[in-house]
């Protein structure tokens, strides 16, 4: 009798608990989430074809910087100098914009920290102020 109970408990452990430990189930979706219907093979194939076409078209639209410089180098120094200037100006403007946004964010962070310190010092000074007795 005891062997049967032990075997059943081991079986239940393997069937339910061990499976959940090895492969935990995810939390259920929130109630406002609606499951999308599964797509058919034809729909999946259509989406794959369209995505591939768009991806290939994105490579053909604009030449890369290296291709632009290669074309300019074939034309000689007269065409290479303006191309290099464009590259350096775009990079410089990108670095300048990034540096300005970093400085702005840093100043905002410092300002927030200073405001928190001022608030803390005010609350501490109010808490330490002697009470007036009337």
pLDDT digits (tens, 9 = 90+) for 22-51: 888 788 878 888 888 899 999 999 999 999
pLDDT band at 130 (very low <50, low <70, confident <90, very high): low
- Residues 34 and 50: their CA atoms lie apart, in Å, by 25
- Residues 113 and 36: their CA atoms lie apart, in Å, by 45
- Residues 47 and 54: their CA atoms lie apart, in Å, by 11
**Closest among 96, 97, 98, 64 to 83, alpha carbons compared:** 64
Is the pLDDT higher at 75 or at 132?
Answer: 75
Burial 52-68 (b: 16+ CB within 10 A, else e): eeeeeeeeeeeeeeeee
pLDDT digits (tens, 9 = 90+) for 93-103: 999 999 999 99
Reported pTM: 0.42
Is 65 within 8 Å of 76 (Cβ atoms)? no
First to last CA, the chain: 83
pLDDT digits (tens, 9 = 90+) for 77-128: 888 888 889 889 999 999 999 999 999 999 999 999 999 999 988 888 877 7
């Amino acid at each position: 009798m005891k062997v049967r109970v032990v075997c059943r408990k081991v079986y239940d452990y393997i069937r339910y608990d061990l499976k959940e430990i090895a492969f935990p189930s995810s939390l259920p979706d929130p109630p406002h989430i609606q499951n999308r219907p599964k797509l058919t093979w034809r729909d999946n194939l259509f989406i794959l074809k369209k995505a591939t076409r768009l991806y290939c078209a994105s490579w053909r639209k604009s030449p890369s910087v290296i291709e632009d410089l290669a074309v300019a180098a074939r034309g000689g120094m007269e065409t290479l100098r303006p191309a290099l200037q464009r590259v350096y100006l775009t990079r410089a403007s990108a670095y300048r914009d990034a540096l300005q946004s970093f400085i702005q964010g840093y100043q905002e962070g410092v300002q927030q920290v200073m405001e928190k310190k001022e608030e803390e010092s005010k609350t501490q000074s109010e808490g330490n102020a002697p009470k007036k007795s009337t």
